[in-house]
């Protein structure tokens, strides 16, 4: 979806000072949220967890730190899946109901013999689609022309994985775009942007 997460190309942000020795966590609660997230994957594939963040109201997304968003997401997904209630999360010393049954998500193997739609060197046009579900096409490449640079092999299309739909295994490529194709005259003509995109996102550009 066209969420706040899709920030590539936006102006107005201020870069922080780069600290080569910055610790991974600023607050101790962030360690807990991170570790709990790694220790419990629940019934959700990674792309379902990504979609939860993408669905955040934009003002909330920008007002919260990275791990605060993870905490928000974890609570939301637990409640949605019936694994915990809001009351339990607010009052963990109170009565606790048993968690609903769930199937842990298992990433199946994909058929690597599926043929590619495009060969390395082919010119492609990124479809100008604006789905309401999860997708991995950044807005800044939609409707833009590029060239297949690398074929990484077959992976499941995340748009289907995130929503529990039938798997859509297909080739995923690195597509190269001239920076000027994406950003116009402000781009340095020598520069390139490399973006990984699945077959379903692309059309032949003849």
Partner 1 sequence: MTEDKVSRREFLTKTSLAASTAVAGAATVTGQVGAQEVEEYAQSDYSVRAKALVSVLTKKNLIDPTAIDEVIEFYETRVGPHIGARLVARSWVDPEFRGRLLSDANAAATELGIERRRDLFAVANTPEVHNLVVCTLCSCYPWFILGLPPTWYKDAPYRARAVIDPRGVLKEFGTELDEGMEVRVWDSTAEVRYMVIPVRPQGTDGMTEEQLQALVTRDSMIGAERLKSPV
Residues between 118 and 157 with contacts to partner 1, criterion CB under 8 A: 136-138, 140, 150, 152, 155
Counting contacts by CB under 8 A, is residue 103 touching partner 1? no
Distance of CA 41 to the CA centre of its chain: 16
Counting contacts by CB under 8 A, is residue 96 touching partner 1? yes
Counting contacts by CB under 8 A, is residue 29 touching partner 1? yes
Counting contacts by CB under 8 A, is residue 59 touching partner 1? no
How many residues bind partner 1 (CB under 8 A)? The answer is 77
Return the number of the residue (29 or 206) whose C-beta is nearest partner 1.
29
**What end-to-end distance do the CA atoms of the chain give, in Å?**
28
Cβ atoms of 111 and 154 within 8 Å: the answer is yes
Counting contacts by CB under 8 A, is residue 104 touching partner 1? no
Cβ atoms of 33 and 70 within 8 Å: the answer is yes
- Secondary structure of residue 162 in the 3-state scheme: coil
C-beta neighbour count of 130 within 10 angstroms: 11
In the list 52, 161, 195, 202, the residue contacting partner 1 (rule: CB under 8 A) is: 195
The 3-state DSSP composition of the chain as helix, strand, coil percent (nearest 5) reads 30, 15, 50
Quick one: which segment of 14-22, 111-119, 124-132, 160-168 binds partner 1 (CB under 8 A)? 14-22
The rounded distance, in Å, linking the Cα atoms of 26 and 66 is 11
The rounded distance, in Å, linking the Cα atoms of 206 and 60 is 43
Least distance from partner 1 to the Cβ atom of residue 16, Å? 5
Counting contacts by CB under 8 A, is residue 88 touching partner 1? yes
Least distance from partner 1 to the Cβ atom of residue 199, Å? 12
């Amino acid at each position: 979806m066209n969420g706040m997460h899709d920030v590539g190309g936006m102006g107005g942000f201020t870069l922080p000072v780069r600290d080569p020795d910055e610790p991974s966590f600023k607050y101790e609660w962030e360690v807990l949220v991170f570790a709990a997230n790694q220790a419990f994957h629940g019934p959700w594939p990674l792309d379902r967890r990504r979609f939860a963040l993408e669905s955040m109201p934009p003002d909330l997304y920008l007002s919260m730190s990275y791990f605060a968003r993870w905490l928000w997401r974890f609570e939301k997904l637990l409640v949605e899946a019936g694994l915990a209630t809001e009351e339990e999360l607010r009052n963990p010393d109170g009565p606790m109901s048993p968690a609903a049954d769930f199937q842990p998500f298992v990433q199946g193997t994909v058929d690597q013999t599926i043929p590619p739609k495009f060969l390395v060197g082919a010119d492609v046009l990124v479809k100008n689609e604006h789905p309401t579900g999860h997708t991995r096409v950044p807005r800044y490449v939609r409707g833009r022309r590029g060239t297949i640079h690398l074929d990484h092999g077959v992976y499941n299309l995340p748009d289907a994985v995130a929503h529990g739909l039938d798997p859509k295994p297909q080739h995923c490529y690195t597509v190269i775009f001239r920076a000027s194709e994406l950003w116009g005259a402000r781009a340095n003509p020598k520069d390139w942007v490399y973006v990984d995109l699945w077959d379903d996102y692309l059309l032949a550009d003849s």
